[in-house]
Amino acid sequence: MKKAKHRACSHDRVQDDGLSRIYRAAWLYGGIPFLVLTSIFIAARRGAGLADFLFWLAVIWIALVRYVEASCWTEGFLQPSRAALGQWWRFSVIFGVAAGILYALAKILGKP
C-alpha cells in the first residue's frame, strides 16, 4: 500500500452531494447579496462602524472561500496549481476593486 505524499482534498467531483452544493452556494453566491445589503446600511448611515466592518470582513471571507474552493479542484489540499492560483488572483483583484467601488459609492450616497 502506497502512502500519500500530501493531504488530498475531501471534495470529489464525482460524488458531489447536494449539501456541499448548498454550502458552496451559500458562502460564495450568498456573499454578494450580503455585500449589497451592508452597502445599503452604510449608505443609510445605520450602524456605520459595524456595517463597514462586516462589509470588509465579507470581502475577505469571500476571497478566502474562493481560494479554498480553487485549491480543492487541484491535486493537493490548499496547494493550488499555478493556473488555479492565477485565476484566484485575478478574481480577488477584480472583486476587491469592485467592492472598493461599491463601498465608495455607498459612502458618497450616505453623505448628507
Q: Is the pTM of this model over 0.85?
A: no
Which tens digits make up the pLDDT trace of 18-51?
656 676 677 667 888 899 999 999 999 888 789 9
CA 47 to chain centroid, in Å, comes to: 23
Residue 14: band (very low, low, confident or very high) from pLDDT cuts 50, 70, 90: very low
38: left (phi over 0), alpha (psi -120 to 50) or beta: alpha
Return the H-helix or E-strand segment holding 86.
helix 82-110
User: Which grid coordinates belong to 110?
Assistant: 450616505
pLDDT of residue 68: 78
Residue 5: band (very low, low, confident or very high) from pLDDT cuts 50, 70, 90: low
Least confident of 14-28, 41-55, 59-73: 14-28
